[in-house]
Structures are given as C-alpha cells and as structure tokens.
Amino acid sequence: MPDLMEQITSLAKRRGIVFPSSEIYGGLRSSWDYGPLGVELKRNVKDAWWRAMVQLRDDVVGLDAAIIMSPKVWEASGHLEVFTDPLVECRNCHQRFRADDLQGEPKTCPNCGNHTFTDARNFNLMFRTHMGPVEDGAEDVYFRPETAQGMFVDFATVQQTSRRKVPFGIAQIGKAFRNEITPGNFIFRMREFEQMEMEFFVKPGTDEQWHDYWIQERLRWFTDLGVRPDNLRLREHDADELSHYSKRTVDIEYRFPFTDWGELEGIANRTDYDLKAHERHSGEDLTYFDPETEERYHPFVIEPAVGVDRAILTFLIDAYRVEEAPTAKGGTEKRTLLALHKDLAPIKAAVLPLSRNERLVPAAREVFDLLKPHWMCDYDDAGSIGRRYRRQDEVGTPFCVTVDFDTLDDRAVTIRDRDSMTQERIPVASLVEHLRERL
Ligand code: GAP
C-alpha cells in the first residue's frame, strides 16, 4: 500500500509533525526535522520507553554518554573494521547502491536500467570528522553509529557508582549517525537518527533465558502502546546475518507498507564480546566481582535496541485511519484519524470556544489555563467546530473540550472523545479529575 506512506508523509508535513530538513535549500535527503507536534510525539515515545525501561524497574539505570567518543572505542568495538556495507556504482549513471539492495538477475540499476556495475567494495558507514582547530594532523574522530558503546566503556564506573549487582542494565537514548548508502522511506532509514538502547549485563549461562525475557518484554511494550499484534512478528537472524558481536539476534518486525515486514527493533545476545574487547584495548579490568559467590567474570550482555524515529513511524502507520463519520446534517464525511495511544498523543486536550464571541473567550481561556499545567493542550478558535474536531482527530488529540454559551450559566463544558466521538457534559470544577482518570 505505497500511497499509505504518501498519505502519512503528507499529513506529517501538513501538520508540522515531521518534514524535510533544510527545505528552503531543497532539503537533504536523509535528514528530517520534527515540528511542534512532532517534538511532543517524540518526547512521549522517549518518555514511554524510559518509564518502562528505567523508571519502573529497579535493575536498570540511565546514562547520557558523549556522541564523539575516543576513536579507540571504534577500533576496539570492531566498527572501524567491519561496520561496512557492500557498495557498487552503476557504470552508466554513476549512482551508488548497496549491492544487496539490487534486484533481478542480471542486477538492474533502479535509476537507469543499466546492468553493469563496479565491483562491490566495503564502505564504512561511520561519519568521520576532525577534533581540534587544525585539520592537518588533528585527530580523526567519529560520530557514534550506535549509543551502545557508551554503556560498555562506562560499565565499571556505572556499576560501581550505582552499586548495582549483576543482573542489571544501563539504558541510553541519544543520537546516532550512519552514512547509509540508501537512506529513505521517510524516517525509516536516516543518516542522523536517535536510538533507545539498553545493555543488560547478566551472568554467563543465564544469558539465553534473559534474552527470551527481553524479547517478550519489548514485544509487549509495542502492544501496550496500541500497536496491533497482527502487524508485529519476531524474526530470528540467520547465522550469516548476525553482527560480529552477536550469538543470537531476534528482530521485532513491523508490517511496513513499503517492505512488507521490516526491522523495527533488534534484540541481540552480544555475549561478553564488547567488555572483553574494551578490556584488551584499554588495559582496564572490565570484569565483575560477585560478592555473594566470590566469582569474577565478564558479564554477558542482552541488548534491546530500537530507533526512536522508526518507532515513531510505526506508531504513525499503525494509528492512521480514514473513516466515514456522521455529520451534523445527518450525512457522512471522511475523517482522518490518528488513533494514537493517549500516552503518545502530542496534545492531550484541545480547548475549543464555540465562537470568538467576547463573552466566551475569557471562559475558554480560563479552562485552557486550568488544563495547561497538567497536560500539553491546544487552544483552537478558528473555523467551525466540526472542522476543529477533524483537525484534532488528524493529530490524535484524545479529548476536545468545548466551551459554549451554556458554560457561562452552568459552569460546565462538553468533552468529546476522539475514538467514539461521544460527547459528555462535565462541570468545569471536576474537569481535571475527569481527564486525569482517562489520560
Ligand atoms: N547497538 C545495536 C544496533 O545499533 P541496529 O540493528 O544496527 O543495532 C538498532 O540498530 C535499531 O536502530 C534498529 O532496529 C532501528 O530501529 C534503528 N536504526 C538503525 N539504523 C537506522 C537508520 N539508519 N535510521 C533510522 N533508524 C535506524
């Protein structure tokens, strides 16, 4: 259903959720900006992840490591050597592609239809820059291609300062950069994106059990946030596609309209690969001493890793509906709806004065001021009430609160529910309580 992607991309742009970066200069294909509603959605996705992965657990702590780390990190992690994709160039139009993306036999250039390509060469996906004021002789450094390495190099410091015992995890949300050969499909594959990763350190021998546990936890996170189970599946990596550090990886895949099934999140058993590699390269002891059994070992690591942007794309696609809705005149009309989980909705309630009448405005402002300290709210007084409901439906606002002339007498407002479109009259005095129960 490719036009579903067009509809979502167009809605995202039209409503200031996500749109191309640097657009006045023609954009930059792989970079996207989040507008006013997009930043709220993004914050809500990150908050939901942090709440589930850190706040509600007593065995996971947080970290915010630097994006530019010592270049030795990438030597030790193996990224300098093996974080590559096979790149080929079309001999006719000189466009470059990932060799494994080319379809057909003989392979065909998607741009010009030609069949001859250069030999594949390994292209490192890390962005490189220089540290220091003089380019010549300055140290080459890299923008991190994953947040994970922060958790490995800080493992001993975090474990000791937070006095955690294995099993425990370190979680981080932050930007990652990959010079992808073929970015695309809106915010599915970007060159600058955000990751939410957690490294869970466990005793060797318990790793397989913990791996299964985290696969189920992570799947549940998506369904708890409203993603339809039928659109999710687990896929085991074949031996030949495992990353260099992984013993077993299972992807949570989503039924994306452009690929059918595509990777949403990876949950890997990274073994003790990273801690041992950093110990070898840094000379620092990265073992863990278990005070109860008096054993010393390198913990194994289970890693659930998901892209913030890819999760947002999933929530948008899954929540997008076009329905026939009844009109006030007894007919029907199309309504576009983002049936986002209330925790993710950018705006929780919109206050709508029936008109811009000067008697109504102070009452509506009062209601807006009452709700603002509790939730992200919107105040919209432009256009007919029906149009304003549609505008809020389209961006997933769970509740609209209408202030009308009766409000001036009965001190009550009408609350409209986004999904059922039912309306209820509620006293202003109990409005916060009423919404709190539902949000
Ligand atoms: N630390 C492990 C790691 O980074 P990965 O499978 O390469 O594993 C984890 O990335 C997740 O990050 C992916 O499942 C995806 O959600 C997201 N991701 C990876 N590359 C991305 C890109 N170029 N654009 C957007 N999201 C990306």
Best substitution site from 172, 186, 193 to test ligand 1's pocket, by max atoms within 8 Å of Cβ?
193
Distance 304 CA to ligand 1 centre (A): 11
Tens of pLDDT, residue by residue over 310-362, are: 999 999 999 999 999 888 788 898 999 999 999 999 999 999 999 999 999 99
Is residue 2's pLDDT more than 60?
no
Tens of pLDDT, residue by residue over 35-82, are: 999 999 999 999 999 999 999 999 999 999 999 999 999 999 999 999
For residue 374, name the pLDDT band (cuts at 50, 70, 90). Answer: very high
Query: Could you identify the atom of ligand 1 that is nearest to the CA of residue 266?
Result: 14
Residue 170, CA distances (Å) to 60, 68, 131, 155, 158 in order: 6, 19, 28, 8, 8
Distance 4 CA to ligand 1 centre (A): 23
Query: Could you identify the atom of ligand 1 that is nearest to the CA of residue 251?
Result: 14
pTM: 0.95
Neighbours of 170 (CB within 10 A): 26
pLDDT score at 100? 84
Alpha-carbon span 422 to 187, nearest angstrom: 34
Distance 184 CA to ligand 1 centre (A): 14
Best substitution site from 310, 312, 313, 315 to test ligand 1's pocket, by max atoms within 8 Å of Cβ?
310
pLDDT score at 85? 87
CA nearest 178: which of 167, 165, 189, 187?
189
Residues 431/413, Cβ–Cβ less than 8 Å: yes
CA angle 82, 87, 93 (to 5 degrees): 165
Best substitution site from 69, 186, 195, 234 to test ligand 1's pocket, by max atoms within 8 Å of Cβ?
195
Alpha-carbon span 245 to 77, nearest angstrom: 9
Distance 51 CA to ligand 1 centre (A): 21
Long-range contacts of 37-43 (CB under 8 A, 24+ apart): 37/346, 37/347, 37/395, 38/12, 38/346, 40/346, 40/347, 40/376, 41/17, 41/312, 41/315, 41/340, 41/344, 41/345, 41/346, 42/194, 42/308, 42/312
